[in-house]
Chain A
Amino acid sequence: MVYTRRSVWPLVIGIIMVAYAYLVQSGNMAGLIKFLNTGRYAGEMVTLGYAFGSVAVVVGLWQVLATPREGHGDYYLSTVAGVMFIMLVAFIVKWGLDPLMASWGHAARPTLGFDFASVLNLNYVVMGILAGIIVVNVFKVPQWAENGVRLSRLGLKTGVILLGALYSFAELAQLGKLSVLMIGVFVLGSVWLVLTIGMRRNLPNSMTGVLSSGVGVCGVSAAVAAAPVVQAKSLEIAYTIGTILLFGVLCMFLFPIVGRAFGMGYIQFGAWAGTGILNSAQVAGAALAFQPGGIETLKVAEIFNITRVLFLPIIVLWLAVWYVRREQAAQRTVQQVDAMQVVISKFPIFVLGFILMFLLSSTGIFAPARHYQGSYFDNSEKALVRKDRAGKEIDNHLTEKEVATLRGELDKVKRPDQKAALERLAQNRKTMSEDDDALVRGVINSKALSKEGTAVLAKAHRVVRHTAPKIAKFRDLIAWFFTFGLVGLGMQITMSSIRQAGGQPLVIGSIVGVIKAVGSLIVVLLLVAETI
């Protein structure tokens, strides 16, 4: 089978991307950028426009001029056109529709009484997935792009592995403990519940087994992984995938709205989405939809998601043993289970990649090893005295006036350790250690000083905290990998695959899915604090 479809469209897309990048770079789009308030994206408009546009032009020319022959070259090169198609949709949504909708939502507020873009959570993540769903179900994905759309899950997995670079030991240790506890309860509980209800309703063992894995662990991948060990039939896998997709898509759009209604913070929402949403891809979608301007929620949600993915080999082993026992009890012959073989064959390698990236980052090659969320402490002269773009020196030590303000308010601080830290700050005109920085933050939060005094402390804190440029780059790249993956994911959610859901599997899946979502919401609201 030859996968490359002769079409002029990849070339046209490439020319559009390069032309747009050139127009932005030359300042010809300044009016539009100002109108949409997208100045912060101007840099990436130029870089990504040229980068993806050039590739699309080269591959587009090859597709028009060359005669592809069946083989690896044709198979993998034909994916490039689909990648460019997804990226074009992502660019339009992120740089055009998202700011436009925000602007309309704001403008309609006096008339409607609420900001519809904010209430309906119409950010680039939600609109990107919706755009994908509309493209595939209303217009159909063009034939020349179909093969490339199947790379979207690769994008999501690469994003998850790269995300490993952004965690610190402290963060991972504390979130890890919480996630193992919550995921342990909810994953094992959901699998057990599906198995129990399935047995009571006399569902075939293969159907119950594959459904329990999909609903309990991480969705479609888990269902596919468990299918061979419970000898599930194609129709049973299709029922499970339909149920998971239907439930997952609903959750992806509803969770952020509910999260906002409950006033949840990043950690609470991340923990809830990572536990309560059935499918891995939709976890990322909901987390980014909840916080489109940053990835703190995504980081928390992915720790929970990775924890449950780690449960997959255990669950598959459990199901294999359960299935053999059930079938033997029904006096049907089945093959015995090789536990070690099941665990090794089902272990998700991309989770190892995430851990590897975290370990690499922990050596300090991307940011000082003690960084927290990419931010690190540095009070050296080099860090405090810098030059601006014009070459003018900027000294970030406290000024004499600021020191005088601080000294005048020292008596308002009662705690001896905090007072000593402020005295050291006033004496040296800079925060002297990471511990002192923590104490200064404590005084800021206690609001013990006047507005002016607190402003001095805020400056003292701000100038010794720095964001590592490499970590900042990782953040940008990760956000784009997830955007690509989620738009492509939308293009794989066809109505025909959702319509596959039905009958007993849909009833059982929905009951357990709702219990899991509501149960994890209650646990998160009651037990998970917003700070770690």
Chain B
Amino acid sequence: MEDKFDRGSALTVFPSDRHEDLVALVLSLVIAALVYFLV
């Protein structure tokens, strides 16, 4: 799959592992906030 994308890598759409980690962190905090306020 490597040649099909000019951004990210075969495993991720993000420029690096660190970017992916940070997006996962932000996504988790948003979900935690939703669970806290809505459940």
Contact = CB atoms under 8 A, between A and B. Distances in A.
Nearest to B7: A75
B24 A474 contact: no
A34 interface: no
Contacts of B24: 154, 157-158, 160-161, 350, 353
B25 A162 contact: no
Interface string B1-39: 100111111111110011011111101100110011001
Nearest to B28: A161
Nearest to A348: B21
Contact of B27 (A75, A158, A470): A158
Contacts of B7: 1, 75
Contact of A221 (B17, B25, B39): B17
A202 B18 CA distance: 34
Contact of B1 (A79, A154, A494): A494
A353 B32 contact: no
> Which 7 pairs across A and B sit closest by C-beta, in order of nearness?
A349-B21, A157-B24, A353-B25, A161-B28, A350-B21, A158-B24, A150-B13
A93 interface: no
A477 B35 contact: yes
Contacts of A76: 13
A352 B24 CA distance: 11
Contacts of B25: 161, 349-350, 352-353, 356
B12 A154 contact: yes
B6 A473 contact: no
Q: How large is the interface on A (under 10, 10 to 19, 20 to 34, 35 or more residues)?
A: 35 or more
Given A1-B5, A150-B13, 18 more contacts: A75-B13, A147-B13, A150-B9, A150-B12, A151-B12, A151-B13, A154-B27, A158-B31, A161-B24, A161-B25, A161-B28, A162-B28, A224-B17, A349-B25, A350-B24, A366-B35, A477-B31, A492-B1
A157 B11 contact: no
Given A157-B24, A162-B31, A494-B1, A473 B39 contact: yes
Contacts of B11: 150, 153, 220, 492
Contacts of B35: 366, 470, 473-474, 477
Contact of A349 (B8, B22, B31): B22
Central interface residue in A150, A158, A350, by most chain B CB within 10 Å: A150
A162 B29 CA distance: 8
Interface string A470-488: 1001100100000000000
A477 B38 CA distance: 14
A154 B20 contact: yes
A309 to B, nearest CB: 11
A146 B2 CA distance: 11
A213 to B, nearest CB: 14
Interface in A54-84: 75-76, 79
Interface in A452-483: 469-470, 473-474, 477
Contacts of B39: 469-470, 473
The secondary structure that dominates the B interface is helix
B36 to A, nearest CB: 6
B21 to A, nearest CB: 4
A154 B28 contact: no
Contacts of A153: 11-12, 20
11 contacts: A1-B5, A1-B7, A75-B13, A150-B11, A220-B11, A350-B24, A357-B32, A360-B32, A470-B39, A473-B39, A492-B11
B11 to A, nearest CB: 6
A357 B28 contact: yes
A146 B5 CA distance: 10
B22 to A, nearest CB: 6
Contacts of A221: 17
A365 B31 CA distance: 14
A97 interface: no
Interface string A225-262: 10000000000000000000000000000000000000
A165 interface: yes
B3 to A, nearest CB: 11
Nearest to A365: B36
Nearest to B13: A150
Contacts of B32: 162, 165, 357, 360, 366
A147 B1 CA distance: 10
Contacts of A366: 32, 35-36
A357 B13 CA distance: 25
A348 to B, nearest CB: 6
Given A162-B32, A474-B35, A477-B31, A353 B12 contact: no
A289 B4 CA distance: 32
Contacts of B27: 154, 158
B1 A146 contact: yes
A381 B21 CA distance: 44
- Scoring B9, B18, B25, B36 by chain A CB atoms within 10 A of each residue's CB, the highest score goes to B25
Nearest to A162: B28
Nearest to A79: B13
Contacts of A353: 21, 24-25, 28
